[in-house]
Structure 1
Amino acid sequence: MYISFDTLPEESKIWIYQSNRKFSDDEISEIETDLQQFIENWAAHGTSLTASYLLKYNRFIILAVNQENQVATGCSIDASVAFIQSLEQKYNVDLLDKMNVTFKVGEHVAHKTLIDFKKMAKDKAVTGDTIVFNNLVNNIAEFNESWETPAADSWHGRFF
């Protein structure tokens, strides 16, 4: 069951998928339609999940589930990954590679491989103050508090 993202409790589980490129406005519109349809049918053990999504910076897809009503289980998580893989194929993007880093350069959102980001840190092209997207956050509270965070305050800090 789809509900508005901002009405989910802060303890709601989230999964963040970052694209290796920015989606066009037309693609975002199509993705929103696909997400709504997926979430309306998303279930765990036959029970509908109370869920939502958020699209940020035309690059991030955030799925969220209120686990107070029904916990997302292995099969339902597998279904969400299969859905994300279908988006990868449809739009020819990479959404599942965790070996990439997305960060802000001013108001621009940049995307680099982890190897390139390490090199940028070594060359001081990025610093501990660079705002990175910590996609390892687990719930909406952590998302609101520390998804966009200085690199030094996230797992990226080991590169400085």
Structure 2
Amino acid sequence: MNRVWVYQADRFLTDNEVEEINSALVSFVSSWTAHGSALAGRGQVRDKLFLILEVDEKQAGVTGCSIDKSVHFLKGLGQQFGVDFFDRMKVSFRNDAGEISLVSRGKFEELVKSEQIMADTIVFNNLVQNSEQLEKEWEIPFRESWHSKVF
């Protein structure tokens, strides 16, 4: 089971940006280390919105320094592309057409109150921490999510 970090952009990325960021991720992950040991990691952009990093900790465990390196890398990407991967004030969900929507927390709260976000609306739980959770608990119904306790 891999350790996972999900970073959500504060806007949707263009196809060109996704291509460039995925290329940068390949370079970063190939040189990502923890105390001199190479990390068995991978990175990808999904749905033009989420940047996902994974590390197989059976080969080498992640350290505070290696996490700092990834944060520094992501902040650099953010500056390069004018995007913020650390903005926690936006919420993503699947709309009635199944497409991903990205709105401010305030707008999301309005949608909940006006019942446009229902118990079975799919929301993204970017707090998942491993590959199994990413597979089973990343896209979940609103009623099962931390969102339902906040909104």
The reply to whether TM is greater than 0.5 is yes
Indicate the RMSD between aligned Cα atoms, in angstroms.
1.2
Whichever residue aligns with residue 116 of structure 1, its letter is: K
Matches of 1:101 and 1:156 in 2, distance apart?
9
Fraction of identical pairs, as percent: 37
The size of the alignment, in residue pairs, is 150
Measure the CA separation in 2 of the matches of 1:29 and 1:97: 22
How far apart are the structure 2 equivalents of 1:155 and 1:136? 9
TM-score by length of 1: 0.89
Structure 1's unaligned 5+ residue stretches are: 1-10
Q: Give the distance between the partners of 1:124 and 1:86, measured in 2 at CA.
A: 39
TM-score (norm 2): 0.94
User: Which one of the candidate residues 15, 31, 41 is aligned to 2:21?
Assistant: 31
| Aligned-partner residue type, residue 89 of structure 1 | Q
AA in 1 matched with 2:141 = P
Q: 1:146: how far off?
A: 1.1
Task: Report the counterpart of residue 51 of structure 1 in structure 2.
Answer: 41
Counterpart residue type for residue 120 of structure 1: L
**CA distance in 2: counterparts of 1:54 and 1:31, whole angstroms:** 8
Is 1:68 equivalent to 2:54 in the alignment?
no
Please say if residues 53 and 61 of structure 1, whose CA atoms lie closer than 8 Å, have aligned partners that are also in contact: yes
4+ aligned runs moved over 2 Å, structure 1: none
Match for 2:129 among 114, 125, 138?
138
Instruction: Tell me the distance in 2 between the aligned counterparts of 1:117 and 1:159.
Output: 11
